[in-house]
Chains A and B, each alone.
Chain A
Amino acid sequence: MNVAVFILFGLLCLGGALNLLLQRHPINSALSLIVVMSSLAVLYLLLGAEFLALAQIIVYSGAIMVLFVFVIMLLNAGEEERTHGSRAAYLAGIPGVLALFTVLASTFLTLRISFGGTRLGSFLVRTGDLSRVLFRDLLLPFEVTSVLILVAILGAVVLARKES
């Protein structure tokens, strides 16, 4: 059953990602990306990261993608048009990406015996364990990220303000 869930949500991830590429209107790409992120959350649950799975849904699908959808709705720029730059990107980009994928996949496949397998429940990180490491050993990076978020809020407010 573990394998079935992985295959289902893995295919959803890949399908959503390919749909992101193939759709022309950005709103459809955004919805495909939401599908990818929600499927990734299920995969995190399979890998025992329960807090991260919900954080993925709350932060990524529920906040960041809402922001993307807002901007697409507000700017309302319509469908994408084919312009001159895309031809070169197709000719050089796609073979390069395929080469990258081949290198990565072959590296992983040569190590497949030593990596072994995982099953649901073989490793579960409870929220308490995660927070103990986060707030004791890594307290300084945590506080720095709060400053980072403050800077990002200020930056976003200033950049998106109308010229008055």
Chain B
Amino acid sequence: MRASPESFGSGNDTHVNILIFVLLSLLKVAVVTVIFLTAVAYTVLLERKLVGRIQNRWGPSRVGPFGLLQPLADGLKLFLKEDLMPTAVFRPLFILAPIIALSCALISIGVIPFGENIRWHGVDMFQIADVNIGLLVILGVTSIGVYGIALSGWSSNNKYSLLGSLRSSAQMVSYELALGLSVIGVVLRTGSLRLRDIVNVQNTHGILSWNFFGGFQFVAFFIYLCAAFAETNRTPFDLPEAESELTAGYHTEYSSMKFAMFFMAEYANMITVGCVATVLFLGGWSSPFGNLIPAVGGPVVQALLPVFWFVLKVFCFLFLYIWVRGTLPRFRYDQLMGFGWKYLLPIAIVNVLATSLALAFHG
């Protein structure tokens, strides 16, 4: 199909008016951004409450019922705090670094499919950008996200920040390899890099066709999990930013809104990684029951039910993230780098080999 400025949509023959495409894309971006940022705020609350319960205490429970207005209070506090900028920092990069970190955390959400391929006026309503190489876009944005951290440490002009940011950048770059290799098994099974195709392959028989179970990618899932923990600088790999080490690392010199941007970027990365893991390994928006449950309700319920399954799976993934954070101690830096290069990388390569052999023999 020849693409022309008037026709959009890969693998679809409808011609879409460019104005409608732009307006609907802007609408999708606005809705997804609002929902995503709210989710980031409430993930912070979820973490505080869960870690509190793991540690046998309540977590925030005073502001609003069950502490539900706590993110609002936190946001207000961070917004109204004094925005200190030390005189010796390198200003352009100091201001640019949190912008890069937050932007890269928010961009990946643009290629993730939340629901079925339902089109309105020819535009896919549950995915912002349906690109042929969606998976590579996510890996690319992860690679650029390293700069937010590297430049923040450098521009702070503070030796603890510099060391923390160098450690964190080296950790992120090392675990990017394992991350990239772990998703190759999924791509081999699907035969395409397009995220909609990856989900459609997992949509055939309910839970059994998900890449984790039917695709036998459980090793890849665990490699992806470890690499994702390291990429998002979360426990057990959070040495570069732990408060008791290196005086909070790369965000030592940041306060108020810029610190809030780093903070939001970390939780936004967590959610993005959860969405990507759901799409790649846990079947995306497909229901675990598959075709066993008859389709009830009108077309609106049928359109929103896959989104419900998607959100539920991302929530389970976030729960796992926070559970691990509350339970495990952190790695020392040399143990962390050794684990990434000497264990995860070879296991990921063996996984690729095993998956390709299995697919070559069984078809």
Asked if A and B touch directly (CB within 8 angstroms), the answer is yes
Chain A residues packing against B (C-beta within 8 Å): 1-2, 27, 31, 34, 50-51, 54-55, 57-58, 61-63, 66, 69-70, 73-74, 120-121, 124, 126-128
The residue in chain B whose Cβ has the minimal distance to the Cβ of A65 is B147
Instruction: Please report the C-alpha to C-alpha distance between residue A127 and residue B190 in the assembled complex, in whole angstroms.
Output: 13
Bound CA–CA A145/B83 (angstroms): 50
Assess whether B118 is interfacial by the CB under 8 Å rule.
no
In the docked arrangement, what's the CA distance between A34 and B150, Å?
Answer: 14
Answer whether residue B137 sits at the interface, using C-beta atoms and an 8 A cutoff: yes
B233 to chain A, nearest CB (A): 16
Contacts of A51 in B (CB 8 A): 133, 136
Chain A residues with CB under 8 Å of B132's CB are 50, 126-127
Kindly identify which residue among A58, A62, A73 contacts B162, using a CB–CB cutoff of 8 Å: A73
Q: Which of A34, A58, A74, A121 contacts B147 (CB 8 A)?
A: A34
**B147 — which chain A residues lie within 8 A by C-beta?**
34, 66, 69
Bound-state Cα–Cα, A57 to B162, Å: 25
Bitwise interface map of B from 111 to 152 toward A, beta carbon under 8 Å scored 1, else 0: 000000000000000000001110011011011101100110
Interface: B270 (CB within 8 A): no
Contact B166 A63 (CB under 8 A): no
Looking at chain A's contact residues, the main secondary structure is helix
- B5 interface contact, C-beta 8 A: yes
- Report the minimum CB–CB distance from B30 to chain A (whole Å): 22
How far is it, in angstroms, between the C-alpha of A25 and the C-alpha of B169 when the chains are bound?
21
Judge whether A127 and B143 touch: CB under 8 Å. Answer: no
Q: What total count of A-B pairs have CB within 8 Å?
A: 66
Q: Is the CB of B357 closer than 8 A to any CB of chain A? A: no
B1 → chain A, closest Cβ, in Å?
A: 9
Interface size class of B (residues with CB under 8 A): 20 to 34
Contact A27 B137 (CB under 8 A): no
CA distance A124 to B1 in the complex (A): 11
Most B-side CB within 10 Å, residue of A31, A58, A74 = A58
Expressed in whole angstroms, the Cα–Cα distance for A62 and B137 within the complex equals 12
Q: Is the CB of B140 within 8 A of A70?
A: no
Residues of B within 8 A of A127 (CB): 132-133, 193
| A50 to B, closest residue via Cβ | B133
Cross-chain contact A120 with B5 (CB below 8 angstroms): yes
CB pair A58 B139 closer than 8 Å = yes
Contact in complex: A61, B143 (CB < 8 Å): yes
Give CA–CA (A63, B136) in the complex, Å.
14
Q: Does B12 make an interface contact (CB < 8 A)?
A: no
Residue of A nearest to B140 (CB): A57
Name the distance in Å between B171's Cβ and chain A's nearest Cβ.
12
**Given B2, B93, B166, B176, which contacts A74 in the complex, CB threshold below 8 Å?**
B166
Q: B144–A121 contact, CB under 8 A?
A: no
The answer to whether B154 has its CB under 8 Å from any CB of chain A is yes
From A61, A70, A121, B150 is in contact (CB under 8 Å) with A70
B133, A66: Cβ atoms under 8 Å? no
In the complex, chain A residues whose CB is within 8 Å of the CB of B170: 70
Complex contact A73–B144 (CB within 8 A): no
26 interchain pairs (CB within 8 A)? A2-B5, A27-B154, A31-B93, A34-B147, A51-B133, A51-B136, A54-B133, A54-B136, A54-B137, A54-B139, A55-B136, A58-B143, A62-B140, A62-B142, A62-B144, A62-B146, A66-B143, A66-B146, A66-B169, A69-B147, A70-B170, A73-B150, A73-B153, A73-B162, A124-B3, A126-B132
Query: Please, which residues of chain B bring their CB within 8 A of the CB of A27?
Result: 93, 154
Q: Is the CB of A58 within 8 A of B150?
A: no
Given contacts A1-B5, A61-B143, contact A66 B154 (CB under 8 A): no
The 9 closest A-B pairs by CB, nearest first: A62-B143, A121-B3, A54-B136, A57-B140, A58-B140, A58-B143, A54-B140, A73-B154, A50-B133
Provide the bound-state CA to CA distance between A58 and B138, in Å: 10
Q: Which residues does chain B contribute within 8 Å of A57, judged by CB atoms?
A: 140, 143-144
Q: Is the CB of A121 within 8 A of B2?
A: yes
Question: How far apart are A29's CB and chain B's nearest CB, in angstroms?
Answer: 13
Question: B45-102: which residues lie under 8 A (CB-CB) from chain A?
Answer: 93
Cα of A115 to Cα of B71 in the assembled complex, Å: 59
Per the bound structure, the CA–CA distance linking A57 and B139 in Å amounts to 9
